Structure 1
Amino acid sequence: MISIKNNVHVELEKEWCKGCGICIEFCPKNVLALKNGKISIVDEDKCIKCGLCELRCPDYAVFLGGK
């Protein structure tokens, strides 16, 4: 059986990001960072697809997507 998490990845809408950093603070694996005042993916390979970034982002700028 293939886990659905294998097909999921972090997606960003940088134009929606206000640079608050809430998603960064809640990420348990330090996948995200602020660069030039906007959210950026530092190392997606460390992402465990927990969805905390998506849950906590007040601007809907970061979310899990895929098939």
Structure 2
Amino acid sequence: MADITINRDKCDNCGDCTDVCPMEVLILEDGKLTINDPDECSYCETCVDVCPNECITID
């Protein structure tokens, strides 16, 4: 299982990461970034690469 961390102090819920996540692990729910199903994460780290605020980490 992926350990996905969102730094809420830095995240502005822009949705850039949700647009590129091929597994739909990251979603916007009620305007807030939410981790939908971390077990589905493929560790591609595309979300990390596109985040303008560098608020997502995957371990």
> Which protein has the bigger helix share?
1
Q: Would you say same fold, with TM above 0.5?
A: yes
Kindly name which structure, 1 or 2, has the bigger radius of gyration based on alpha carbons. 1
Among residues 39, 46, 51, which one is paired with 1:52 in the alignment?
46
- Unaligned runs of 5+ residues in structure 2 are none
Q: Structure 1 stretch 12-21 or stretch 22-31: which is displaced more?
A: 12-21
Q: Tell me the percent identity.
A: 32
CA RMSD of the aligned region, Å? 1.6
Q: Which residue of 1 aligns with 2:22?
A: 28
Query: In structure 2, what is the Cα distance between the partners aligned to 1:62 and 1:38?
Result: 14
Q: Which residue of 2 aligns with 1:37?
A: 31
Would you say how many aligned residue pairs link Structure 1 and Structure 2? 59
Runs of 4+ in 1 over 3 A off after TM superposition: none
Cα distance change of structure 1 residues 43 and 33 upon mapping to structure 2, 3 Å threshold: same
- Unaligned runs of 5+ residues in structure 1 are 1-5
TM-score, structure 2 as length reference? 0.84
SS in 2 for 1:34: strand
